[in-house]
């Protein structure tokens, strides 16, 4: 395996590793077979594992997730692809009402060990119905784990943990990260779900980010460093389980917190993180907490307009500078 791998290649690599390790792992979705997926994130799986384990499905999100649920309840570990995260709305009954409640309602007698993976987020000018960051939808549903990796190595490691989980996992792959490159992980690489990572140390302010907002926060941190402000950047990796301990430990050092998220400000995950810090770490804070999030409007097609809606490096820098002056 090459020393460097793209985020896109890491998706296929992560799935392939688990399919080689466990014959109960199967994949299903639209055009994921010979076509290799619309984003080329399942390239090579059909060739290696064949149509018995890589299933091309009709264009029906309900059929995909419903079949995955049945397969998971009867001994398989399905990895189902929903092409765009916006389309989770089409199978929401299964994802919100059925899958996350089976284990609880059967007293643990039946588990639903499945992964629903999906292409998430904006920044590519795909418009209002194909650009949403929808992690906050899943965050409202008890019983779902939520993973959103920012690097190729984390894609592979978190995919392994997600597929091995006995609870359902929604796995958000960010479209704007697919072409990014990073170090290839070693064989057997597993990243436990619910473990955040401090990707840049700093003493002055904590930036908490997820998925594509992690490299954005890192760029903002470099700009702020030139202004004499050293930002610590925390990659949450997962929303459920949520590693509040790592966030609180960082705030203990910096005394200032800014969340950076692509979800709309209204109902975004940053509100949950901020409320936990206000509740459990209020005494650590020397300034108000701030949230940089998307505007509460449908996403435009035009690049210049989309940039007005979603977080940018400049927006993060401005918010931190305001906070530093508090």
Alpha carbons within 13 angstroms on the beta-carbon side of residue 101 total 8
Residue in 13, 18, 61, 262 annotated catalytic: 61
The pTM score is: 0.97
Average pLDDT, the chain: 97
CATH topology of domain 4-183: Rossmann fold (3.40.50)
Structure tokens at 205: 């302010």
**What are the tens digits of pLDDT across the range 185-225?**
999 999 999 999 999 999 999 999 999 999 999 999 999 99
Dist CA 43 CA 49 (whole Å) = 11
Assess whether 173 carries a catalytic annotation. Answer: no
Dist CA 193 CA 174 (whole Å) = 17
Spatial neighbors of 283 by CB under 8 A, at least 6 apart, are none
Domain made up of 197-324: CATH architecture: 3-Layer(aba) Sandwich (3.40)
Residue in 18, 30, 81, 130 annotated catalytic: 130
Assess whether 46 carries a catalytic annotation. Answer: no
**What are the tens digits of pLDDT across the range 121-168?**
999 999 999 999 999 999 999 999 999 999 999 999 999 999 999 999
DSSP state letters, 233-285: EEE--EEES--HHHHHHHHHHHS-EEEEEEEESTT-HHHHHHHHHHHHSGGG-
Sketch the domain layout of the chain as residue ranges: 4-183, 197-324
**What strand order describes the sheet that includes 77-84?**
54-56, 25-29, 77-84, 115-120, 169-174, 145-147, 238-240
Q: Do domains 4-183 and 197-324 have the same CATH topology?
A: yes
């Amino acid at each position: 395996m090459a020393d460097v791998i793209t985020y896109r290649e890491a998706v296929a690599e992560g799935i392939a590793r688990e399919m080689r390790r466990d014959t109960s792992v199967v994949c299903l979705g639209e055009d994921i077979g010979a076509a290799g997926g619309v984003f080329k994130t399942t390239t090579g799986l059909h060739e290696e594992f064949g149509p018995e384990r890589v299933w091309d499905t009709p264009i029906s999100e309900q059929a995909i997730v419903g079949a995955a649920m049945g397969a998971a309840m009867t001994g398989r570990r399905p990895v189902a692809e929903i092409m765009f995260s916006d389309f989770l709305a089409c199978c929401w009954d299964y994802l919100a009402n059925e899958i996350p409640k089976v284990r609880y309602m059967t007293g643990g007698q039946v588990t639903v060990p499945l992964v629903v993976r999906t292409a998430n987020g904006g920044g590519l000018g795909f418009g209002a119905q194909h650009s949403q960051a929808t992690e906050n939808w899943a965050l409202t549903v008890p019983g779902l784990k939520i993973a959103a990796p920012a690097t190729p190595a984390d894609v592979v490691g978190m995919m392994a943990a997600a597929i091995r989980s006995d609870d359902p996992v929604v796995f958000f792959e960010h479209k704007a990260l697919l072409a990014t490159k990073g170090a290839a992980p070693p064989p057997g690489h597993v990243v436990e779900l619910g473990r955040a990572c401090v990707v840049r140390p700093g003493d002055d302010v904590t930036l908490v980010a997820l998925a594509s907002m992690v490299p954005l926060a890192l760029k903002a941190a470099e700009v702020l460093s030139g202004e004499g402000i050293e930002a610590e950047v925390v990659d949450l990796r997962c929303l459920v389980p949520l590693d509040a301990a790592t966030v609180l430990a960082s705030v203990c050092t910096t005394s200032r917190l800014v969340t950076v998220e692509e979800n709309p400000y209204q109902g975004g995950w940053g509100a949950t993180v901020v409320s936990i810090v206000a509740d459990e770490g209020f005494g650590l804070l020397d300034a108000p907490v701030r949230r940089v999030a998307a505007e509460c409007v449908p996403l435009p097609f035009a690049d210049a307009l989309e940039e007005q809606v979603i977080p940018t490096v400049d927006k993060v820098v401005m918010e931190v500078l305001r906070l530093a002056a508090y």
